[in-house]
Homo-oligomer: A and B are copies of this chain.
Amino acid sequence: MKKLKVFAPGTIANLGPAFDILGVALDNIGDTIEVKENNEGVLKIKEIKGKNKRIPFETNKNAVTLGFLEVKKILNIDFGVDIVLEKGLPISGGLGGSSASAVAGVYAANLLAGNKLKKEELLPACVNVEGILSGYHADNVAPSLLGGFILINSYNPLSVVKLGIIKDLYFAIAHPDFELETRKLRAVLPKHIELKQHVFNSSKAASIIAAIMKKDVKLLGKSIQDNIVEPVRSKFIPEFYDVKKAALDAGAYGSSISGSGPSVFAVTDDKKKAESIGKAMTEVFSKKNIESEFYVSKVSMEGVKKLFNKLFLR
């Protein structure tokens, strides 16, 4: 009977101006699954721990089991496993919660099947699950799977560019305790924008890519400026601009909405400063009686990983 434990990191997508094309894997927050082969030959979620409110147990609705089902389609293998999901990521929090669960499921399924596919080859399966749950986009699943910063080069055919990590980079992330559904937050986006908004945002997005490759945290921070998405989505996050200002006042090089929110992220190059920044951000939420918590994280080099993998021969 095989048993294994897998951790898939949370992610920050968009990073402000790089809407729908960039995401980064976080080092120490994510979803964990424990998978154990069962005798019934049935795929099932046995337990959900952690930030578990309202996560469905149904095989065709849970991101983890949907991940298993995608791998089943590719490799034509049936999985009979009991899964314990430990949600480390908030639901609809803008930190790639469903993506991390999907990636954990896909990765674990492939490991159980004898590691037949390379990580890169698992990407389409992960994107398919994301498509079912919150719309076909790859900027959360790709970094959660592959690690580091990932740029989406093309959706048709699906192709991504691995940009690596910045070792000195720390994210401070404030998560206010309410949910924003990605689908709804997509619906509020403008269908048309001005050409000059495009030029502005693409210069900042391009600068973020340059900053990542040059390992330049300050350039990264100052390039986090978004004239298209932030002005619209920030309306759904009470006190957003005060939270952002608090982050910048506390020394952050840049700050914006993580994914579709409501989490707000900020960047710096020092762990202690990141903690002060996180604290400053949550204090703004507190003053308005919005419960919140903050995380401090570096960038995950490797993305989804095996925590242990015990093989019990029958």
Answer yes or no: A287 CB below 8 A from chain B CBs.
no
Least CB separation from A223: chain B residue: B153
* A218 vs chain B, min Cβ distance (A): 11
Answer yes or no: A203 CB below 8 A from chain B CBs.
yes
Answer yes or no: A122 CB below 8 A from chain B CBs.
no
Contacts of A167 in B (CB 8 A): none
* A67 vs chain B, min Cβ distance (A): 25
Contacts of A193 in B (CB 8 A): 192-195, 198
Given the contacts A198-B201, A228-B195, A228-B198, A151 and B206 also touching, CB distance less than 8 Å? yes
B163 touches A210 (CB 8 A): yes
Answer yes or no: A38 CB below 8 A from chain B CBs.
no
Contacts of A151 in B (CB 8 A): 203, 206-207, 210
A210 touches B207 (CB 8 A): no
Considering only residues 6-44 of chain A, those with a C-beta below 8 Å from chain B are 17-22
User: What number of copies of this chain does the assembly contain?
Assistant: 2
8 Å CB contact of A203 from B21, B190, B214, B219: B21
* A251 vs chain B, min Cβ distance (A): 21
Considering only residues 49-87 of chain A, those with a C-beta below 8 Å from chain B are none
* A120 vs chain B, min Cβ distance (A): 15
Answer yes or no: A48 CB below 8 A from chain B CBs.
no
Given the contacts A194-B191, A219-B153, A206 and B203 also touching, CB distance less than 8 Å? no
Least CB separation from A206: chain B residue: B209
8 Å CB contact of A195 from B18, B191, B207, B213: B191
B209 touches A198 (CB 8 A): no
B189 touches A192 (CB 8 A): no
Interface mask (A193-217 → B, CB under 8 Å = 1, otherwise 0): 1110111011111111110011000
A202 touches B207 (CB 8 A): no
Please report the C-alpha to C-alpha distance between residue A205 and residue B19 in the assembled complex, in whole angstroms: 13
Least CB separation from A211: chain B residue: B161
Answer yes or no: A180 CB below 8 A from chain B CBs.
no
Please report the C-alpha to C-alpha distance between residue A13 and residue B90 in the assembled complex, in whole angstroms: 44
Answer yes or no: A286 CB below 8 A from chain B CBs.
no
Contacts of A22 in B (CB 8 A): 206
* A24 vs chain B, min Cβ distance (A): 14
Answer yes or no: A133 CB below 8 A from chain B CBs.
no
Answer yes or no: A154 CB below 8 A from chain B CBs.
yes
Q: Can you list 20 contacts pairing A with B, beta carbon distance less than 8 Å?
A: A18-B206, A19-B202, A20-B199, A20-B203, A21-B199, A21-B206, A153-B222, A154-B203, A161-B214, A192-B192, A195-B228, A197-B198, A198-B201, A201-B202, A202-B202, A202-B205, A205-B205, A205-B206, A210-B213, A213-B214
Query: 16 extra interchain contacts, Cβ-Cβ under 8 A, other than A151-B203, A153-B223?
Result: A18-B202, A20-B199, A20-B203, A152-B203, A153-B204, A163-B210, A191-B194, A191-B195, A192-B193, A192-B194, A192-B195, A198-B202, A201-B202, A205-B205, A209-B209, A209-B210
